[in-house]
A and B are shown apart, each in its own frame.
Chain A
Amino acid sequence: MTRWRILQVVPSLNRAGAEYSLLFAAAELSARGHDVEICSLHEPDDLLGDFEAAGLKVHRLGLPGLVNGPRRVAALARVIHLGVFDFVRSLMAEASMTSALTRPLARRPIRVASYHHVDFDVYPANNPQRRARRAAYGALMRTAVQGHVGISTAVARHHERHLGLRHVDVIWNGFPVAELQRQADAGKADARARLGLGNAFTVVCPARLASDKGHEYLIQAAAELGSAKVVVLLYGAGPREQELKRLAEGLGLGRAVRFMGTVPQSELMPVIAAADALALPSPHGEGFGRVLAEAMAVGTPVVTPGLAGALDFVEHDRSGLLVQPRSSSGIAEALGRLEATPGLKERLGREARRRIEQDFDIRVCADRWEALFDRLAFERGWR
């Protein structure tokens, strides 16, 4: 129960899964008496207010791009040095490389890198520049970083293989389950009426409208099910918005597929809780899949490809339904089954809720971070 000083370095305070998981973990570790500070390398700072509201000190370097690389390293080294941190935990490649490069200038802290994605195969190092960058990344992680953490088993193994790391620990992203359930319960009763859903079979998909999320498979699945049977609510914004709208309209789903834009978590959770299913059709899987876990926490069954992070907490036909990747028919079949089988939604939802409450509460996640910090400190000789 040593009170550690921890700096969490993140590329930006974007409104995304990794940053939210950082916010939850940092707030919980802070409530346990650790000193947690945040350092963002550059904009956007969308979540700045949330971090500050949680009482966390945020250092904003505001140094984007390759051209600012040396200044970024120097500025981060100064923050680390003056802050007398025990641990510097970095999230994702850009922050981890910057943190590793500060080591000669600020040697005191133990460095921990968090890995969040499974995209080395998706974005292969197929030219000399990418190969050099990948090689540098691996070398820096192996030599300048003492702790390695993947947010799911798949992410951990993926990085062991691609970066040549001996061992990557797994610490799942946690979130405040009870708080989320409270948010969901608060607005669940009138969510359907508010959105005019009636008794329609409602599938919600909260994900950035980008190609790695595979919305087209869900829209095609809705077409296979028939526009009269299903309503799909797509939450989020992104570069593919117009393309996906055209696809839906082309399939005659102009009314069945609704683009809801970006809404705050407190508004989204009641909708997820009131929906019949949450689908996340990412063709390459998710590093973790936070929205899946959040839906499961409020007892909404999930449908997603049996890939990567989801495999850690979605057990097929027990706590959710796993489908083939890139398969609209697979999604359609799973959603059809949910609609047609009496009691299936409730059974999956119950087990999903139990699974998340047991292993994915932020307190359990913080327990694991504390255990990792204690172990690394012991190895360093801090008793």
Chain B
Amino acid sequence: MCGIFGELRLDVSAPAEPFSSRADTSLAHRGPDGRGTVRSGPCLLGHRRLAILDLDPRAAQPMWSADRRVALAFNGELYNYLEIKARAQAPDGGWRTTGDTEVLAEEWARKGVSALSGAVGMFAFAVWEERRQRLWLVRDRLGKKPLYWAMTRRGTLRFASELPALLVDDEVARETTLDRLGEFLQYGFVAAPRCGLSTVQVVPQGCALEAWVDDGVLRTRVHRYWALPSPPPASNREAWLEQFRATLADAVRIRLRSDVPLGAFLSGGVDSSVVSLLAGRALSATPLRTYTADFDDPRYSEGAFAREVAQHLGSVHTELRVAPPPESLAAAVVEVWGDLHGDPSAIPTLAITREMRKHVTVALSGDGGDELLGGYARYQVALAAHERYRRLPGAVDAVLATAQQTVPTWLRGTSRLARARRRLEVAYPSELRAYATRRWPPVLRAEAPWRDPLELSLARHSHRPPLLQMMACDIENYLPEDNFVKVDRASMAVGLEVRSPLLDHRLFELVMAARPDWLLDERGSKRPLRELFSASLPSSVFTRKKMGFAPPIAEWLSSVPPELTLERIESSAIAEVLDRRELRRQVRLYARGVHGFAGRVWYMLIAAEWWNRWKPTLRP
């Protein structure tokens, strides 16, 4: 886990900008253990290293392949590097290191982008192919590791692991558009390939960006090397379950490879308990270390559950006391995140990773279980609505479809007409649009048209059964844009590597071949985990009420009086584009504790702080 940056220049003869040293400083928190740059012709690769595998300086990056055909700056982990190495042909002079970076560099030199076909991992990396003069920017299948890129005013392509590293000088214009704000204020993120700034892009999940200079023009091309597959439905549940078990065990096993201290988050819930159980079995010789975040508020404490599981597993258990963070929450989050990111659980995540880092450098987590196995309650709510209206006669269905799209968007709001429109949307869920279109009353003075990423995802996966369709939508949006951003930035801010076996892409591929009732039955979700591991874990793991990740965010947020929050937003330049009346109304609803509006106000606060930090120009 590291930070990478670099550039591909159009004009090699132009004097070097101080970008390299500034970006290096900006990403220092991601890699405190080492730094390095490689310059080759028009390309610069930079790297900040957090050493996890092969702590020897020979494993420093950027790293050239043995034949010096490719140079690689790698952020992340290639978990199955030992298996790939065993199959691969050793380079001339033999392997120089015992880490994963060299394996990928040699594989890329031989196979190019096909090197990724058997790779399991979380990564974002840059490869410079010296002979072909091509730069590749690659992101892992699910998009766990971040990778931003932009064109500078002088036509140079720049990339970096985090947005602030691209903006270390004025070379990248700071511009944004109303539709980005609209999307953020609706969902709390701006979906890839876009980000908060219109001048910066993100390499999407499962994609590789190829860049080269052709006839004095810098050209780019995107290759999608992976997409969520649509395999034929599996027919034999027992065989499928066995394959799931074996893949999950392997996913945990390969994530235990580390040359630095490793532990596991344990909340006492299903996901983290299963991961800890499998990790404990795989380690066998040494006891696993487990950690629980405990809050002062007993309503959110999971300490007792975690203790019970830890005792059952025989792990060395530690409870981390997590204190409320400082007052200027939103500003702190924007400082660490850089981009528009609205999930308020970022605050406790940051507090927990900070505590965890005092004990270990690598942490296993149970993240991803809900997306993998249909764990969210919202799936069940949407499925119930879908089932209720599924049998509408074709003619009624068609009339509703037409009516739905002819109701003008200005009717959105909390008026009676808007509620009617909302009912219409719920009443026409043939494509589960109701699941995506959680329209809040717009707070922007003038809303620009924007392509709703959730709506597009649902349409993209309309051939799947409804449950898998919603899960696929989350895999494409919520996971990379919200969850992964939160975990990456919070862990990297303190130099901690978080590994999530339930986010192994092989498991997602398997699940897409499952029948929905194999995941979700009348006893609840995560049926495979229940059936495979209920005998090995305390019964409370499966019977306790699901808490999710619910630390006392609302209480922490409300420590700041609503008037101060309103003042903070109104004093920001973003207030220019907000509808003041609507803004005040929503803050009033938040102050009264109306459900959902705390999140709305949090988004606005984040947008205001983000605007204050980057002072972007608003483009029409």
A residues whose Cβ falls under 8 Å from a Cβ of B: 1-3, 5, 31-33, 35, 57, 78, 81-86, 105-108, 363, 367, 380-383
Contacts and interface: CB of A to CB of B under 8 A. Distances in A.
30 contacts: A1-B201, A1-B209, A3-B204, A5-B456, A33-B222, A33-B223, A33-B227, A35-B456, A35-B460, A78-B398, A78-B401, A81-B401, A82-B430, A82-B459, A82-B462, A83-B462, A84-B431, A84-B458, A84-B459, A107-B405, A363-B221, A367-B221, A382-B179, A382-B449, A382-B450, A382-B451, A383-B177, A383-B180, A383-B448, A383-B619
Nearest to B219: A367
Contacts of A381: 179, 448-449
Nearest to B433: A84
- Max count, chain A CB within 10 A of own CB: residue among B180, B207, B619: B207
Nearest to A30: B224
B328 interface: no
Given A33-B204, A78-B401, A382-B179, A1 B220 contact: yes
B41 interface: no
Contact of B193 (A2, A31, A85, A107): A2
Nearest to A106: B405
A380 B448 CA distance: 10
Given A33-B207, A82-B430, A3 B221 contact: no
Closest 9 CB pairs of A and B: A33-B224, A84-B459, A383-B177, A1-B222, A35-B460, A1-B193, A381-B449, A32-B222, A83-B459
- Max count, chain A CB within 10 A of own CB: residue among B219, B222, B398, B405: B222
Contacts of B401: 78, 81-82
B398 A383 contact: no
A84 B456 contact: yes
A94 B181 CA distance: 41
- Max count, chain B CB within 10 A of own CB: residue among A2, A85, A108, A383: A383
Q: At the interface, is chain A mostly helix, strand, loop or mixed?
A: loop
B209 A81 contact: no
B405 A31 contact: no
B193 A3 contact: yes
A107 B409 CA distance: 13
B455 interface: yes
A5 to B, nearest CB: 6
Interface in B192-217: 193-194, 198, 201, 204, 206-207, 209
Contact of B221 (A32, A82, A108, A383): A32
Contacts of A107: 405
Given A81-B401, A84-B458, A383-B198, 20 more contacts: A1-B193, A5-B456, A5-B459, A5-B460, A32-B221, A33-B206, A33-B207, A33-B222, A33-B223, A33-B224, A35-B460, A57-B463, A81-B405, A82-B401, A82-B431, A84-B431, A84-B456, A381-B449, A382-B179, A383-B448
Interface in B432-482: 448-451, 455-456, 458-460, 462-463
A297 to B, nearest CB: 20
B402 interface: yes
Contact of B194 (A2, A32, A57, A106): A2
A44 B448 CA distance: 43
Nearest to B198: A383
A65 B41 CA distance: 61
Contacts of B448: 381, 383
B8 to A, nearest CB: 16
A55 to B, nearest CB: 9
- Max count, chain A CB within 10 A of own CB: residue among B431, B450, B459: B459
Nearest to B476: A3
Interface of B: 177, 179-180, 193-194, 198, 201, 204, 206-207, 209, 219-224, 227, 398, 401-402, 405, 430-431, 448-451, 455-456, 458-460, 462-463, 619
A367 B209 CA distance: 13
A32 B224 contact: yes
B449 A380 contact: yes
Contacts of B221: 32, 363, 367
A308 to B, nearest CB: 29
A305 B383 CA distance: 62
Contacts of B204: 1, 3, 33
A383 B430 CA distance: 29
A31 B113 CA distance: 13
Contacts of A86: 451, 456
Nearest to B205: A33
Contacts of B198: 383
B338 to A, nearest CB: 20
Contacts of B462: 82-83
Nearest to B192: A3
Contacts of B451: 2, 86, 382
A380 to B, nearest CB: 7
A159 B550 CA distance: 62
A3 B430 CA distance: 24
B431 A31 contact: no
Nearest to A35: B460
Contacts of B463: 57
Nearest to A34: B224
Contacts of A367: 219, 221
A84 B222 contact: no
A108 B193 CA distance: 21
A154 B460 CA distance: 36
B380 to A, nearest CB: 23
A275 B431 CA distance: 53
A57 B227 CA distance: 14
A164 to B, nearest CB: 29
Contacts of B458: 84
A367 B223 CA distance: 12
Contacts of B619: 383
Nearest to B203: A1
A235 B116 CA distance: 42
A31 B459 contact: no
B179 A383 contact: yes
Contacts of A363: 221
Contact of B223 (A31, A78, A84): A31
B48 to A, nearest CB: 26
